[in-house]
Amino acid sequence: MPLFYFAASSPDISSLCHTSTIQHNKNPTSATATEFSLFSSDLFLILRRANRFSRCKTSRLKLHPRQNIETIMQKTLSSRLGTLLAGSLVKQIMIGLIAGVALAWISHDAALAVGLLGELFVSALKAVAPVLVLMLVIASIANHQQGQKTNIRPIIILYLLSTFFAAVVAVALSHLMPQTLTLAVGSTEIVPPSGITEVLRGLLMSMVSNPITALMQANYIGILVWAVGLGLAFRHSSDTTHALLNDASEAVTWLVRCVIRCAPIGIFGLVASILASTGFGALWQYAHLLALLLGCMMLMALVVNPMLVLWKIRRNPYPLVFTCLRESGVTAFFTRSSAANIPVNMALAKRLGLNEDTYSVSIPLGATISMAGASITITVLTLAAVHTLGVSIDVPTAILLSLVASLCACGASGVAGGSLLLIPVACNMFGIPNDLAMQVVAVGFIIGVLQDSAETALNSSTDILFTAAVCQAEAERETSRA
């Protein structure tokens, strides 16, 4: 009996012993002596082949097989879960997309049934997004450091101009090529604002909303106002309070990452149910939307940003533009994280001979506020929802949308798909309910395999591009003065 306990507790041979038990001992109550002898010989042969067990003495065989087996199972499960969570989210989303399309093609009923997974994913996003916006804005404002160098100011101006122009480009191209989405509109009628005056009135009323009510109703305008106010108040608090705010912000960000890791499963359910209910024509619709997003980002990277650089350095900007796109944009495309690409931009800035005191501040700052790609994503998807619902907008409202999208983009979180979670802020301008806005967010995750990669590439390459432009302009100005 102790020998059997010893074998069962070993992760290397327990499966083999189990196989031998099945083959030689199918009915223990009627087993013959021959069968037990065969089992014993097999067991001793296994023990002799295992070096770490062949030298064990009988006195050391005081093991608890049930506890050891449970521990082994827990470790195996934990390692497999860790491997799953550490895997590439892009690859997993691609697998979810392909699986959803295949399921919708094979079984219509099963595809509709797995739509529950997509509903759960969207509901999780709806639950975590308001808290994420509140904590990130409070922590970022409360921990703002003052006393930066004056040559940071022109870089910040370029960051903000690029982000605003990106929203303007997105508004213009969305007007020329309007997109529509497939949304599950409820029975509640949507009353769009009649003009800029009503939009401003709605914004002002949303700003003075109760903070608890704003969180419960996902009133992002009110959440932003309260977050800014609390962040300014916490600036004068103690270091312990600042540490608490940072810890709370990191905790919420970790929770969002956990939700985002469920995106492949949610996308699987969303794609399967959408294709089963609307047909495969929905893929062509998303292809048009993705083409519009990528076209806006290419226009920014190859036309608008070079014009801003030309205004700063007064010479051909494209050698610098292509260098930044090649050295920074390609890496950011695959990492899908502006924060992860900061060391790449730092190394490129050093090779370009830029001022270290400048780029050591401007590049990390750009990973937070230089969000031209996020501005495009927010504007295009918001206008796609507006066009789907038949809401008409005038020129002043479009300009206001560009400003709101720019502000939302600057507050986008550092996690993958962070800009998508701020789409409801812009949707609130047009009276679009939060349920429909989160459906738009889900559409963004469906196309996010390419959209988020291109967005990050534009954002991160813009950081080093404008930093290099300002540093080179300052160096040329000092040379001319000397």
In the chain the first and final C-alpha atoms are separated, in Å, by 92
Reported as a single tens digit per residue, the pLDDT across 273-306 is 877 876 666 556 678 888 999 999 999 999 999 9
DSSP 413: -
Domain shared by 40 and 173, yes or no: no
Output the CA–CA distances (angstroms, integers) from residue 301 to 80, 195, 308, 368, 409, in the order listed: 40, 33, 11, 18, 17
Instruction: Specify which of 138-142, 265-269, 284-288, 313-317 reaches the highest per-range mean pLDDT.
Output: 313-317
Which residue type is seen at 315?
R
Question: CA 17 to CA 10: how far, in whole Å?
Answer: 10
Q: Total domain count for the chain? A: 2
Question: CA 70 to CA 63: how far, in whole Å?
Answer: 13
Residue span of the structural domain in which 57 resides = 2-85
Domain shared by 292 and 327, yes or no: yes
Domain shared by 175 and 107, yes or no: yes
Reported as a single tens digit per residue, the pLDDT across 421-432 is 778 778 877 878
Domain shared by 7 and 105, yes or no: no
Domain shared by 302 and 153, yes or no: yes
Question: CA 347 to CA 248: how far, in whole Å?
Answer: 32
* Beta-sheet strands, E only, within 322-465: none
Output the CA–CA distances (angstroms, integers) from residue 17 to 8, 11, 163, 191, in the order listed: 7, 11, 65, 70
Q: Which of 45, 60, 85 is the last residue of a domain?
A: 85
Q: Which of 37, 69, 85 is the last residue of a domain?
A: 85
Please provide residue 155's backbone torsions phi and psi, each rounded to the nearest 5 degrees.
-70, -45
DSSP state letters, 204-216: HHHHTS-HHHHHH
Domain shared by 271 and 417, yes or no: yes
User: Which pLDDT value is given to residue 169?
Assistant: 92
* Residue 178 clears pLDDT 90, i.e. is over it: no
Q: Which of 304, 217, 299, 264 shows the shortest CA–CA distance to 417?
A: 264
Question: CA 393 to CA 395: how far, in whole Å?
Answer: 7
Question: Is the model more confident about 212 or about 330?
Answer: 212
* Residue 95 clears pLDDT 70, i.e. is over it: yes
Q: Which of 85, 108, 126 is the last residue of a domain?
A: 85
pTM of the complete model: 0.59
Q: Which two tokens stand for residue 420?
A: 């998508």
Give 60-66 contacts, CB < 8 A, sequence gap 24+.
61/2, 61/3, 61/5, 61/6, 62/2, 63/5, 63/6, 63/9, 64/9, 65/5, 65/8, 65/9
Vertex 417: Cα angle to 230 and 94 (nearest 5): 160
User: Which pLDDT value is given to residue 340?
Assistant: 66
Domain shared by 387 and 301, yes or no: yes
Confidence of residue 82 (pLDDT cuts 50, 70, 90): low
User: Which pLDDT value is given to residue 303?
Assistant: 95
Output the CA–CA distances (angstroms, integers) from residue 297 to 285, 317, 444, in the order listed: 19, 18, 15
Reported as a single tens digit per residue, the pLDDT across 302-337 is 999 999 999 988 889 999 999 999 888 887 886 666
Q: Which two tokens stand for residue 296?
A: 């806006």
Q: How far is CA 304 from the centre of its chain?
A: 26
Q: By the 8 A CB rule, do 289 and 384 touch?
A: yes
Question: CA 411 to CA 415: how far, in whole Å?
Answer: 12
Question: Is the model more confident about 73 or about 287?
Answer: 287
Domain shared by 133 and 240, yes or no: yes
Confidence of residue 36 (pLDDT cuts 50, 70, 90): very low
Confidence of residue 207 (pLDDT cuts 50, 70, 90): confident
* Residue 88 clears pLDDT 70, i.e. is over it: no
Domain of 289, CATH number, reads 1.10.3860
User: Which pLDDT value is given to residue 143?
Assistant: 73
Q: Which two tokens stand for residue 124?
A: 């999780």
Domain shared by 26 and 155, yes or no: no
Q: Which of 204, 30, 227 shows the shortest CA–CA distance to 130?
A: 227
DSSP state letters, 120-168: HHHHHHHHHHHHHHHHHHHHHHHTPPP---TTHHHHHHHHHHHHHHHHH
Those residues with Cβ within 8 angstroms of residue 205's Cβ, 6 or more apart along the chain or in another chain: none
Q: By the 8 A CB rule, do 434 and 319 touch?
A: no
Q: By the 8 A CB rule, do 320 and 453 touch?
A: no
